[in-house]
Amino acid sequence: MARRSSRMTPSTQVSAAEKDSDANYLPDAEFEDVEEERKPKKKRVKRSAHPNSKGDQKVQWTRGRRGALQGIAEMPLEILHEIFLHLYPADLLNLSRINKALRRILMTKSVEFIWRQARINLEDLPPRPADLSEFQYARLIFDALCHYCAKADTSSIIWSNRRRCCKKCLRDESVMWTWNGTPVWRYGDFAEILPSIDLRTGQEQLVRLPRKNFFCVRSTAQLLDQYQKLKGDARVEWLREQNEERRQRIVHGRSCEKWIEEQAAKRASDLDAIRTRRYEAIRQKLIELGWEEELQAFGHGLNQLPCVRQAKDLTDRVWNNIKDVIIDALETHKAERLEREHQVAQSRRLAKLAALCESFFYSQEPQNRTLTPFADLVASEPFKTMLKAPASERITFTDALLRESTQTWRRSKESELLNMMVESGLSPDGVDSLSLATTFFKCTKCRNVVGYPEVLMHTCASCRYPSTRPFAHPSESVPWNLDGKCVLFHDRAHHAARTILEASGMDPDTVARKDVQKAGFFIECHECCLDEHSEGRRILMTWLSAVNHAVLHEFFMDNEMRGHQQVQMAIAQLSEDEQKLASTLAIEKLRATHGGLACLRCSSTVPRFTGSWSSLRRHLEFGHISERDPIEPVEFVDYIVEGDISGLPVQPEGVLRLELGNSQKVMELSQSNLRPCR
């Protein structure tokens, strides 16, 4: 039959000796366990008068492993003592607060050897000071409760009076005094022995600045009472002894703080080692499941998962619980990684395609430079499929693909232009109708009159912002005439062109642009030459400028006359000298206003230099000075006037004015010359 100790009787009465056990073990009243004092007394539980009643038959179930040590206090003392001898002081402190039975066992003088052995179990712990018992020393080092308010999370220790103090109590005037709040300053050297703490460092200094320190009210009152009772040499000797004792306590406290820091670092190192073992074990299991490649891409992300960073060794049961969570995280990371790689691959492919488009565009002859807008290109096949291909697939873009795509796109847009003509009430006869001299379109953004095929490369129709580039930049490109409102058929320009051709004795249904947009072909405005602003000069224009001029004439007509009066414009009848003079004026004006003068001396493998007349001269002077002398540019030797994609000669814009009866050349460069001279 197991021995049962007489101390574990059912009686709830506590003897006076047991009540005073803490006081016998802790003689200093300042170190009484304030946690026990602040706990309210438990109310007596009312029980039924009938022990076999239904209420006494209820069984209280505990959840999980809670309550597993509820019978430990009923074990024999010899076994308990043997168990306690293998514990540490912090473990004994925690056990002493579980219940009153364990507290009565651990808080008596007879078990002081257990506390001593628990302290010895710790390596390199500084020896216990003579003025502290084993329990007091353990509580000072390992307990986190404040000695003033019994609150947890206390980090500041006043070693000279063996107390822990929390931040709240440090600022409580009933607990701590500042230098200005305490009367100790009037006692001179007495202030040197007072327990204090420096708020800047959280430590007690051997040589302190009193005005920066906080003093314990209770210790100050006790020491001040002793100080006032002494006189003469006894007071001096007492001050010396107290100062020396305070110094020894602080030095001992420094060694304790160093030991605590070393233990914390060692504990952190041990936990890191456990986390490393757990991480490697999890990683090895994932490699066995085929996640090695993704783990390399995941990097340190695996170690950031909460279920991986735990300082617990991995077991099969734990692995089965966390496996799904980790695999889900890897799958999510893999999907995001593949998406990022795909986006990067797309960006690189787009950059390569944009560079190929530019080189392809400039490799064509000026009269054949046609390119699908970049936004239309990437949305068409096969480029759409090639751009969306997996990142691991190698994609190559070629000029042949661009040429085929451009031809397909051009046929599609020509159909759209023909539909615009049909909507305007015309009956176009295939693509050839687009090349007639009377076919014009208008841009609602820049308000310009645009012919075919220039309308296909008009940047306003395929660029998000106004641009002077020959084609839209990839980052600004939009599908050509996306909303169907940028490019429209120009009815006024169409009727004005028919009127001019009919007045010139030409058939507007058969005359092509190449017949009117050629060197030496000029249209004269007979109405403007009679205007007082013409100053007796003949008003000549090229074909496109003449159509614009006629549209503006119609715009400025009075409402009553609009539709009833035709514009007085027709082909110019010029003598041989006047024809030469007009051609010279056209060339000089083209040089002064046109920015498409291309250098023939630049390599054909790169985009040639293209600019105005003055910039071309500077380019030849500094870029090709060793190739020719003099540096006066010669057409078809040093430069050419780049045409547009229509393949027709470029003609100057604006008005050419010839002096009547005089060979003097007069040239107007302002774009406002397109406005009728009224």
If residue 539 lies in a helix (H) or strand (E), which one and from where to where?
A: strand 537-541
φ, ψ of residue 83 to 5 degrees: the values are: -70, -45
Cα separation of 429 and 413, whole Å? 16
Contacts of 356 (CB under 8 A, 6+ apart): 397, 399, 402
Render 410-460 in DSSP notation, one character per residue: HHHHHHHHHHHHHHTT----SGGGGGBTT--EEETTT--EE-TTGGGG-GG
Cα separation of 187 and 236, whole Å? 12
* Closest residue by Cα to residue 538 from 506, 573, 504: 573
Contact 540, 572 (CB under 8 A): yes
pTM: predicted TM-score of the whole model, two decimal places: 0.59
pLDDT per residue as tens digits for the range 348-383: 999 999 888 888 887 777 666 788 888 899 998 999
Peptide bond preceding 652 in cis form (omega within 30 of 0):
no
pLDDT per residue as tens digits for the range 186-225: 666 777 788 887 777 767 777 655 556 777 888 888 888 8
User: Could you tell me the two tokens for 25?
Assistant: 């073990």
Report which residue type is found at 333.
H
Q: CA dihedral defined by 501, 506, 510, 516, rounded to 10 degrees?
A: -60
∠ Cα 184 192 145 (to 5°)? 85
Contacts of 246 (CB under 8 A, 6+ apart): 160, 193, 195
Cα separation of 249 and 163, whole Å? 12
Cα separation of 514 and 512, whole Å? 5
If residue 460 lies in a helix (H) or strand (E), which one and from where to where?
A: none
Segment among 85-94, 311-320, 436-445, 559-568 with least mean pLDDT: 559-568
pLDDT higher than 70, residue 8: no
Report which residue type is found at 526.
H
pLDDT per residue as tens digits for the range 472-527: 777 788 899 888 889 999 998 998 888 888 888 889 888 888 888 887 888 888 77
Contacts of 604 (CB under 8 A, 6+ apart): none
Contact 382, 395 (CB under 8 A): no
Beta strands at 569-571 and 537-541: parallel, antiparallel or unpaired: unpaired
Cα separation of 673 and 200, whole Å? 83
Cα separation of 436 and 509, whole Å? 7
Contacts of 338 (CB under 8 A, 6+ apart): 391
Cα separation of 293 and 10, whole Å? 66
pLDDT higher than 60, residue 175: yes
Whole-number mean pLDDT of the chain?
A: 78
Query: How many other CB atoms are there within 10 angstroms of residue 47's CB atom?
Result: 10
Q: pLDDT band for 53, please (50, 70, 90 cuts).
A: very low
Query: How many other CB atoms are there within 10 angstroms of residue 245's CB atom?
Result: 13
Task: Check residue 43 and report its DSSP letter.
Answer: P
Per-residue model confidence (pLDDT) at position 41: 52
User: Could you tell me the two tokens for 454?
Assistant: 């220039």
